[in-house]
Amino acid sequence: MAGHLELLTHSMVSLARGRNLDTIIGSQTINSFLPLKSDLELTSYGLYAIELVDQFTAEHIEDYPLFQLLLEILHCLCRGGDNELTLRYFELHLLNEVGYRPQLQQCVSCHQALEPVTNAFCSAAGGMLCPLCSQSQPLIQPISVNTLKVLRFLQSSDYDTAAKLKMDPELSHQLEIVMRDYLKYLLEREVKSAAWLDSLRGAVLPT
């Protein structure tokens, strides 16, 4: 049954309850996500998504919407497209599900609506700070008007709408920095697969 239980495989598994450990008595593959297993970069994207789910959830607590989101993202990665955009969409929607939705509409400190100027994201505060409130905060990321627009759009769109967005590499990089910093803050450590993604990029795409 080992093939049905590989990472990046969606399987239906039958378990016999044991006193300490359960025993797998049957399994059936629903989707083996083959494209993710035949391309190292796609493998790393898939593992990254799975690791985030693993890190943000507790064992034995069912979260069906999050499971559906994970499946959707694995399907999207298989179909191809802008994979970075897919991951940013996934991160923002995962945060919605697990209760860490970042506040992007108003300043988290003074609660004023944000002006169309360069504002800042503060991971410790869980959202955006206006220029005045961000002056007293050392650990912030400046956020351009355009980056904020895209973050809001990804946070509130379904995947098909979000996937129509065209991002240039600079914008894509900005989004990755903001999300990586926030996730790292929340998890209080580097996401292992993200570090792997970086080392893979260094090996495959030297910059």
Distance of CA 110 to the CA centre of its chain: 28
Minimum distance, C-beta of residue 201 to Zn ion, in the bound complex (Å): 36
Residue (40 or 110) nearer to Zn ion, CB: 110
Minimum distance, C-beta of residue 121 to Zn ion, in the bound complex (Å): 13
Minimum distance, C-beta of residue 151 to Zn ion, in the bound complex (Å): 17
Residues found near Zn ion in the complex (CB under 5 A): 107, 109-110, 130, 133
CA Rg value for the chain: 19
Minimum distance, C-beta of residue 92 to Zn ion, in the bound complex (Å): 22
Q: How far apart are CA 147 and CA 119, in angstroms?
A: 10
Residue (27 or 109) nearer to Zn ion, CB: 109
Residue (96 or 109) nearer to Zn ion, CB: 109
Distance of CA 10 to the CA centre of its chain: 19
Q: How far apart are CA 86 and CA 62, in angstroms?
A: 24
Residue (3 or 142) nearer to Zn ion, CB: 142
What is the rounded end-to-end Cα distance, in angstroms, of the chain? 42
Q: Burial, 114: exposed, middle or buried (Cβ in 10 Å; 0-12, 13-18, 19+)? A: buried
